[in-house]
Amino acid sequence: MFVLSFRDMATAKCSAVTTAAMYKVDPVAPPTVWSPAPGFTLATWTEVSALVKNKHVCFLVHGFNVNRDSGYTSLGAMAQEFTGAGVLGTGATPLDLQIADVDVIIPVLWAGDWYLPINYPFLLPDIRLTASHFADFIWSSATMMRRVSFMTHSMGARVALETVRATLAGKDSHALPAFDTAILTAAAVADDILDQADFADTVAAFRRFVVVSSTADKVLAGDFPAGNAVEQALWRDDPGRDEALGLYGPRLKAGSPALAKTTWYRLTDHDHGDYVPAPATPAPPFPNGWSAKRELIAELVQGTMDSAAVAAAPPTPLQTF
């Protein structure tokens, strides 16, 4: 498995933003729990090119306050299931989460874990710097991906949207991939972000958006409004409401360009940590930090990204927008 990093990998916590680097994670057999974190080695650009060139690549992006090891083990365990080599397919009741319509699944690490939660409002410059480096990666002649999709959690939504915004800024001088799907789970961004002028080109570039929200998310209900208000006071080019997209879902205007391409799954019992596996804290009988709620999210992602899976077993919609 490969992991794309925009953080200094020499330190496990509070790392600086770096340019793109791809790492190979030591082999992890399906029965093996992703804790302790497996080792990793730097990949060559030849390996990177062979992995992604002319492919449909889906990037998995974590949120704020996630350190290096938690980031690549949680997203690695999820990516492993999506490639059909995960532990959930080996249990007494096998769960096949393989996504056939995506060629490559790549977890993404970024420097969003520094110091204290109170630092959250100061994170936007690092997010935009990460997005700039991510855009450089997408533009690179060594990568030249055919299609790009994202599955994000929490503040990872802002990383993905800023990345596509930065990538599109170079459309007159670079060959760009098609942007296919953005799955935004528990998104720690303003609920009107898909209607903001700053992201108009980003919305137009994507084929579809899938928003997954939960009214039981205590982080987005309690911390986001205050943190977002402070963030907007600090950074004047950061418009938007102080209600989170991942709490009550999208707030779109009549006639919004996002309306026709947005699906909304509305949950009522997922807290902020119920979206991606947490291998460091497994809860039997679920391996690798999975849970019933996290499996539901993975099935939703599979059902969104894999037309074969949808045709074989259409997911029961929770509530669509």
pLDDT tens per residue across span 173-212: 888 999 999 999 999 999 999 999 999 999 999 999 999 9
Tokens, residue 59: 């990037």
What confidence tier does 121 reach under pLDDT thresholds 50, 70, 90? low
Q: How far apart are CA 230 and CA 222, in angstroms?
A: 14
Q: Show Cβ contacts of residue 178 under 8 Å, excluding neighbours closer than 6 positions.
A: 146, 147, 148, 207
What confidence tier does 315 reach under pLDDT thresholds 50, 70, 90? very low
Task: Return the closest-CA partner of residue 109 out of 35, 37, 201.
Answer: 37
Q: Is the dihedral of CA 104, 49, 66, 209 positive or negative?
A: negative
pLDDT at 224: 73
Q: How far apart are CA 227 and CA 242, in angstroms?
A: 8
The percentage of residues in the chain with a pLDDT greater than 70, rounded to a whole number, is 86
pLDDT at 321: 34
What confidence tier does 320 reach under pLDDT thresholds 50, 70, 90? very low
Tokens, residue 241: 């409401």
